[in-house]
């Protein structure tokens, strides 16, 4: 994608070429590209681990890998996908889009921006290197519950430091986005005129700043428990293993919304564009996202209903959890109302966005079911949970990432992507992802626990179906790579507006946009008239 940013403004002066350009860049588009490329690589590494998992689960009995390695695959798959694929993708989108959407030349803190990206390759090298260490990679689950996680071999401190680095990177990225949005908005771009992608990202950034240090604290306590004789989480030393779960999920639940809120922003950009109709309920979208973020801090214990909390605690967390259904419902209804009486066309971004709304809603339904404590005593730690969070993470976050990529690729590269390829990618992905994850609801309800390498024979049929779906879904993502490379290399020239129904400042810039997005503030009249 090097042509993307080949334009240089005369006043900018020296720019390194080759590798040095990417190492030293402080440009928001270069850094956005770096984040997105890293995210794509991690998506395939994490995906390869998922393929190994589905291969072993293809039939009962152990055919390919030992249980310990299986456990390290599930653990690493989760860590890589969450911290390596989805979170960097969002930061990549934010880098590319936030300055263009608010009428700014670049991010507010360009050097911090460079640094926050370049931490990540080291973090993931550290994490992935554990697979080759004595004792193997971390295998206690991405949730790192003690005492089990303390049984990790030599990988343990590497796991902890990798998590620290990922956290530091996310916090730096979040600070940068907040600083950019609060300081670099063009004249006339008031908060309630911000595109929803920017809104959802500010809220996400605050969640990151509040949640990531909590995770850092929790894993640091694990580290001192292991190496420095403390017993924060060791019952034998007067500590409390359940306290780790409380701290972890105090991070972990906001983290869930860190992964999904920017997806809401992307859907809110794409659906009005292809429905050629303004987004329904802009302000209620903002308030819904904010209430979801607030609620995300008071529902953490619904991940641990089965630890045996007092009745009052279980009731509180159940009520708070099901309450989230209301603002989430508002969002879904608003998207549907946006399509209603629109004039729709179905280019690839719109197809992925519609699939996102439908399939994320299915994940929302199972989430509501899981929030009801007495029934969660059955669902908890089964494949029903696996189905739930893959519907919200894969067909939620990742579908939104793919939708957003197709939507803005023409803007970023200056070329249209191959529409036919995009559609084939869409149909293969959407059908196979449901073959992959829908049967897992049945498996969970029928009694299959999660995180097991082998299972009783009554679960064999649906596991085989699920694995077949998984292989097809994995393979179809190669089409995505082909589509991206083709688009970066050339194709039909994209206009500035790209999409007939597109509104917003980024569509007023040429495709690809200049090196410094807005060297002069955009016309306030464009902001007043063009934003919807």
Partner 1 sequence: MTTAKIQPLLRGLTAALALAPLLAHAEWGNLNLPHGVTPYSETVYELHMLILWVCVITGIGVFGAIFYSIVRFRKSKGAVAAQWHENTFVEFLWTAVPAVILVVMAVPATKALIMMEDVSKSEMTIKVTGLQWRWRYDYIDQGVFLYSGLATTSNLARQLNSGIDPHTVENYLLEVDHELVVPVGRKIRFLTTASDVIHAWWVPALGWKRDAIPGYITESWALIKEPGVYRGQCAELCGKDHGFMPIVVRALPEAEYLVWLDQQKAAQKPKTAAIDQGNQHIAATR
Active site residue ranges: 77, 106, 142, 169-170, 253, 255, 257, 268, 302-303, 328, 331, 450
Least spacing, CB of residue 246 vs partner 1, in Å: 13
Least spacing, CB of residue 23 vs partner 1, in Å: 40
Cβ-based neighbours of 184, under 8 Å, separated by 6 or more: 99, 102, 104, 105, 107, 108
* C-beta closer to partner 1: residue 28 or 425: 425
- Kind plus residue range of the DSSP H or E element containing 369: helix 348-371
| Alpha-carbon span 335 to 353, nearest angstrom | 10
Contact predicate 99/517, CB 8 Å: yes
SS (H, E, C) 48-76: HHHHHHHHHCCCCCCCCCCHHHHHHHHHH
What are the tokens at 417? 């992507």
- Per the listing, tokens 């194709």 go with 491
Least spacing, CB of residue 460 vs partner 1, in Å: 8
Contact predicate 467/52, CB 8 Å: no
* C-beta closer to partner 1: residue 450 or 486: 450
| Alpha-carbon span 161 to 178, nearest angstrom | 26
- Per the listing, tokens 């334009």 go with 7
Least spacing, CB of residue 47 vs partner 1, in Å: 22
Least spacing, CB of residue 70 vs partner 1, in Å: 8
What are the tokens at 320? 């708070």
Least spacing, CB of residue 59 vs partner 1, in Å: 8
* C-beta closer to partner 1: residue 454 or 523: 454
Contact predicate 464/427, CB 8 Å: no
What are the tokens at 296? 């995300």
* C-beta closer to partner 1: residue 164 or 441: 441
* C-beta closer to partner 1: residue 281 or 513: 281
| Alpha-carbon span 391 to 399, nearest angstrom | 10
| Alpha-carbon span 367 to 289, nearest angstrom | 17
* C-beta closer to partner 1: residue 397 or 430: 430
Least spacing, CB of residue 341 vs partner 1, in Å: 4
* C-beta closer to partner 1: residue 46 or 140: 140
Long-range contacts of 113-117 (CB under 8 A, 24+ apart): 113/26, 113/28, 113/31, 113/172, 113/173, 113/176, 114/24, 114/25, 114/26, 114/31, 115/172, 116/91, 116/168, 116/169, 116/170, 116/172, 116/173, 116/176, 117/31, 117/34, 117/35, 117/38, 117/91, 117/169
């Amino acid at each position: 994608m090097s042509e993307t940013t080949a334009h240089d403004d005369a006043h900018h002066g020296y720019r390194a070429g080759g590798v040095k350009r990417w190492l030293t860049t402080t440009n928001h588009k270069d850094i956005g590209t770096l984040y997105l490329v890293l995210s794509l690589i991690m998506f395939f590494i994490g995906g390869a681990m998922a393929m190994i998992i589905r291969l072993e689960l293809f039939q009962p009995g152990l055919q390919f890998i030992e249980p310990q390695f299986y456990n390290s695959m599930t653990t690493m798959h989760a860590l890589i996908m969450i911290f390596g694929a989805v979170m960097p993708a969002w930061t990549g989108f934010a880098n590319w889009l936030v300055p263009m959407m608010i009428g700014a030349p670049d991010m507010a803190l360009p050097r911090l921006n460079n640094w926050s990206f370049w931490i990540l390759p080291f973090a993931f090298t550290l994490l992935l290197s554990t697979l080759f260490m004595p004792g193997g990679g971390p295998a206690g689950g991405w949730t790192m519950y003690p005492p089990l996680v303390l049984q990790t071999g030599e990988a343990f401190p590497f796991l902890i430091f990798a998590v620290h680095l990922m956290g530091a990177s996310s916090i730096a990225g979040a600070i940068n986005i907040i600083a950019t949005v609060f300081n670099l908005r063009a004249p006339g771009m008031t908060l309630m005129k911000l595109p929803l992608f920017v809104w959802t990202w500010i809220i996400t950034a605050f969640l990151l700043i509040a949640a990531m240090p909590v995770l850092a604290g929790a894993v640091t306590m694990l580290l001192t428990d292991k190496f420095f004789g403390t017993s924060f989480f060791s019952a034998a030393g007067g500590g409390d293993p359940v306290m780790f779960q409380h701290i972890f999920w105090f991070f972990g639940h906001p983290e869930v919304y860190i992964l999904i809120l920017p997806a809401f922003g992307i859907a809110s950009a794409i659906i009005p564009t292809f429905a050629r109709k303004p987004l329904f309920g802009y302000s209620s979208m903002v308030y819904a996202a904010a209430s979801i973020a607030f609620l995300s801090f008071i529902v953490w214990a619904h991940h641990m209903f089965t630890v045996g909390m007092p009745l009052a605690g279980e009731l509180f967390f159940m009520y708070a959890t099901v309450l989230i259904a209301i603002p989430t419902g508002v969002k879904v209804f608003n998207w549907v109302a946006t399509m209603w009486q629109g004039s729709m066309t179905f280019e690839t971004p719109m197809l992925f966005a519609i699939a996102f709304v439908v399939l994320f809603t299915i994940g929302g339904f199972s989430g509501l079911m899981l929030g009801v404590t007495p029934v969660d005593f059955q669902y908890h730690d089964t494949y029903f949970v696996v189905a739930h969070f893959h519907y919200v993470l894969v067909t939620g976050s990742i579908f939104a990432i793919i939708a957003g990529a197709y939507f803005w690729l023409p803007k970023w590269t200056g070329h249209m992507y191959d529409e036919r390829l995009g559609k084939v990618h869409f149909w293969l992905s959407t059908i196979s992802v449901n073959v992959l994850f829908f049967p897992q609801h049945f498996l969970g309800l029928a009694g299959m626990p999660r995180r097991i390498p082998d299972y009783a024979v009554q679960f064999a049929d649906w596991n085989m179906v699920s694995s077949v779906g998984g292989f097809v879904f994995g393979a179809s993502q190669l089409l995505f790579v082909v589509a991206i490379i083709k688009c970066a290399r050339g194709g039909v020239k994209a206009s500035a507006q790209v999409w007939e129904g597109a509104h917003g400042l980024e569509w007023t810039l040429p495709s690809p946009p200049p090196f410094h997005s807005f060297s002069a503030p955009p016309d306030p009249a464009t902001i007043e008239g063009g934003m919807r």
